Amino acid sequence: MEKLVIDGDNDRPYIYLDKEFGIYRIRGCSLPENVLEVYTPVLDWLREYAEDPNPEMNFEFDFDYLNTASSNMVMRIIDALINIRKNQSGVQIKWFYRHGDIDMRDLGLEMLEDTKCTFKLIQKDPVD
């Protein structure tokens, strides 16, 4: 399975999904004009991955900012991770947020608390 790498910029997150090395990460700001252009490849990749998942999956979200449209797409990604969990027991989601960024912490908690996946909210130190 090919890895998916999307370079981020001021409006788009950096996305790195690599089954071979077990790296699943989305980070940065997400406020693109066209969220489907950014996130459809991620959803397609996860659909293919779900057909033959690794025994363990640690998926990392590390956003500085999410607009509403991006939040909706992240929920779709979380739904895809829940579906993957049906085929394996080892899906864990890590939601990073900056020290003092209560809004991003609360968003992660809201998105993840109803999932059946194991999740961790991780506060990053101010120097990270």
pLDDT at 104: 95
pTM, whole model, 2 decimals?
0.93
Predicted confidence (pLDDT) per residue in 77-121, tens digit: 999 998 888 766 688 999 999 999 999 999 999 988 877 678 899
What's the whole-number average pLDDT of the chain? 92
Domain ranges of the chain: 16-31+45-124
Predicted confidence (pLDDT) per residue in 14-48, tens digit: 999 999 999 999 999 999 999 999 999 999 999 99
User: Starting from the edge strand earliest in sequence, which strands make up the sheet with 90-98, in order?
Assistant: 4-6, 14-18, 23-30, 56-66, 90-98, 118-124
